[in-house]
Structure 1
Amino acid sequence: MDITRRLALTGAATMAAAPFIPTSSAKAAVAPVGKQAPSFYRYKVGDIEVAVVSDGANTFPLADNFVLNAKKDDVNNALEKAFLPRDKMTIHFAPLAINTGGKLVVIDTGNGAAANAATKGAVGQFAANLTAASIDPKNVDVVVISHFHGDHVNGLLTADGQPVFANAEVLVPSVEWKYWMDDGEMSRAPAGRMQDLFKNNRRVFEAGLKKKVTPYEWGKEVAPGLLAVETIGHTPGHTSYVLSSGADKVFIQSDVTNHPDLFVKNPGWHAGFDQDGAKAESTRRKVYDMLVADKLKVQGFHYPFPGLGNIEKDGASYRVVPAPWSPII
């Protein structure tokens, strides 16, 4: 081909001229920066402005029980097929700040200040990235919590246990609140992760917020244009949302799936984080069939940043088609 011949001739000419090109020092003129830019991304849903504000990403060794009903080799093969390294997982976290025009609403709050210190900044970035996005936590009117796992509620408090969103009303799913604040449920919880979750939720909501929360019901708007939707299984009161403005909508799925390259492509897999794996699977299939049928955009909390896309059927499973990045809002 002509293009190949031209490239070859160009390469030969460059080599011939090489003795006459002054050599430069291998030392870089400027030291590498060594850090990412603040991570936030804005898009519009009708007249509503959505800011996806990253809380960072956590990388850890792949445990044998990360997927409860699949072999580790199968999980590794799925990672490799997605061009991801074997034997490790990276999970992303992406809370939202939504400006409805009349209200500034935050959905979930990330891992919090303690996790930021413990991971040397890998997670717990939400507060800093909010500031970088010119969003002052004091101006947040409403914080909406989808469920009571630490990566969603711990960012409600500062490192010294004070409310981050001092002027905001904190809304929580009524079913979720009833479960985690029930002393009987806490006494029956298995030792380890489940007991730790109960204790952490008491720390955040009883000690930190002093129970200054308002439970909400499914099927109702919790903020202008934001409809709460039952998506249980991951937790007993796990909640997702439909954000609407005019004819435009997006489904905010919270933790209906974890990492999409595992749990969107393999909807029958049960994550170790799912409290009721069978129910979580049933919910996942129902939600994703709806997203496909309605061609509804989805915002994923654990999708790679910024986590916005569409879902299409892929045989017996599904596939995420990421929304194209836009330089304008």
Structure 2
Amino acid sequence: MPKSLSPLSSGALAIVLATGWAATAQAELPAQQQEQAPGWFRTMVGEYEVTALHDGHTAIDTSLLKGMEQDEILRHLDALFIDAENGMQTAVNAFLIHTGENLVLVDAGSAACFGPSLGQVESNLRASGYSPEDVDTVLMTHLHPDHVCGITNESGEAVYPNAELRASQADADFWLDEERAAALPEADRAFFDMAQEAVAPYQESGRFKPFTEGDEVLTGIVAQDTHGHTVGHSSFMLTSDDDAMLVWGDVVHSYGVQFADPTVAIEFDSDPEQAVRTRENVLESAVDDKHWVAGAHMPFPGIGHIVENEEGYQWLPIEFAPLATEE
């Protein structure tokens, strides 16, 4: 070994070389990737394929929840690690149902009505393997803009050009009434205007057909009366073989609060007392009948079961699993 390179200096050189390699490796580390996987999730209800489609998320201020003190609301949310400092993050979901006879979309998301964090139903429907042209029926739980705006694009054209659009007669009579909207102050017309603009291309082409509660709107899909959030808010019970799922729209907005205390309403309820009664009945039935539920504002994919606990009700989200395939 040359005198200029002693064992000690050799070790020091190794450290220098290693440090230099680590620095080079760190410098070459790629940037963190901020994108998520496509927002769709698939499961089976008997023979029916159900695909949850994520429209995105928004934030709801806790002051919009009514019937519980703010400190108690925050206690419930904090117990579930829900950070509500800048509002409760709230998902917006839609559900695509392949019955074997029909391809049915329940709700359509918000399109551009509520900003860039929403409006992804159409792209996620495509990512899931279908196209808007494949959909033959669009069922609306109600005509609020975060559910109905997605049926029409910014040019005023139908996103689902081959689909029949169906909403409850009661909701249609309320939200599509131009005279009712015109009688309101301009600041209060927005929800009416957005609903009417979204539905217009389907009405003009003769593809808007209201239903009444209790109708079997398609084979194995029955419209249930769950009004209170809006005058004609509806849910859809899917039944196939020995399995069932209730797509319940806006029965629950805050799982962190309203499962613990179903009497908590939200500012957007048209009839808060009726909305509470509806929620209590739906939750009780979900526990008794043990059917699946799918919620528009439950954490994506929004599918799960309801059980009772010592405080009230508890949400049990579905677990990921590959679909069973025939050998």
TM-score (norm 1): 0.86
Gaps of 5+ in 2: 1-13
The answer as to 2:90 corresponding to 1:94 is no
The answer as to 2:90 corresponding to 1:75 is no
Amino acid in the other structure paired with 1:252 = V
Percent identical among aligned pairs is 30
2: CA distance between counterparts of 1:34 and 1:279?
42
1: CA distance between counterparts of 2:121 and 2:223?
23
- Match runs of 1:1-329 below 5 Å: 22-23=18-19, 24-25=22-23, 26-59=26-59, 62=61, 64=63, 66-87=64-85, 88-115=87-114, 118-119=115-116, 122-187=117-182, 189=184, 192=187, 194-206=188-200, 209-210=203-204, 212-315=207-310, 317-329=312-324
After TM superposition, give the deviation of residue 21 of structure 1 in Å: 9.8
Amino acid in the other structure paired with 1:33 = Q
After TM superposition, give the deviation of residue 204 of structure 1 in Å: 1.6
Residue deviations 1:39-98 (CA, integer Å, cap 9, x gap): 1000001111010011011135x253x112223222222221110113221110110111
2: CA distance between counterparts of 1:114 and 1:289?
34
Residue deviations 1:122-159 (CA, integer Å, cap 9, x gap): 21011111111111001111111110100110000112
2: CA distance between counterparts of 1:55 and 1:224?
27
Amino acid in the other structure paired with 1:71 = E
- Is the 1:46–1:246 Cα contact (8 Å) retained in structure 2? yes
Gaps of 5+ in 1: 1-17
2: CA distance between counterparts of 1:183 and 1:164?
23
Which has more radius of gyration? Answer: 2
After TM superposition, give the deviation of residue 258 of structure 1 in Å: 0.8
Moved more, 310-319 or 50-59: 310-319
- Is the 1:257–1:284 Cα contact (8 Å) retained in structure 2? yes
- 1:168/1:67 CA distance change after superposition, 3 Å: same
- 1:101/1:20 CA distance change after superposition, 3 Å: farther
SS at match of 1:53: strand
After TM superposition, give the deviation of residue 221 of structure 1 in Å: 1.4
- Is the 2:102–2:136 Cα contact (8 Å) retained in structure 1? yes
1: CA distance between counterparts of 2:234 and 2:28?
50
- Is the 2:44–2:50 Cα contact (8 Å) retained in structure 1? yes
2: CA distance between counterparts of 1:19 and 1:209?
75
TM-score (norm 2): 0.87
SS at match of 1:95: strand
* Equivalent residue number for residue 12 of structure 1: none
1: CA distance between counterparts of 2:17 and 2:136?
62
Amino acid in the other structure paired with 2:48 = I
2: CA distance between counterparts of 1:292 and 1:188?
43
After TM superposition, give the deviation of residue 294 of structure 1 in Å: 1.0
- Is the 1:267–1:285 Cα contact (8 Å) retained in structure 2? yes
After TM superposition, give the deviation of residue 206 of structure 1 in Å: 3.0
Amino acid in the other structure paired with 1:178 = D
2: CA distance between counterparts of 1:315 and 1:187?
48
- Is the 1:205–1:212 Cα contact (8 Å) retained in structure 2? no
- Is the 2:158–2:201 Cα contact (8 Å) retained in structure 1? no
Amino acid in the other structure paired with 2:151 = L
* Equivalent residue number for residue 4 of structure 1: none
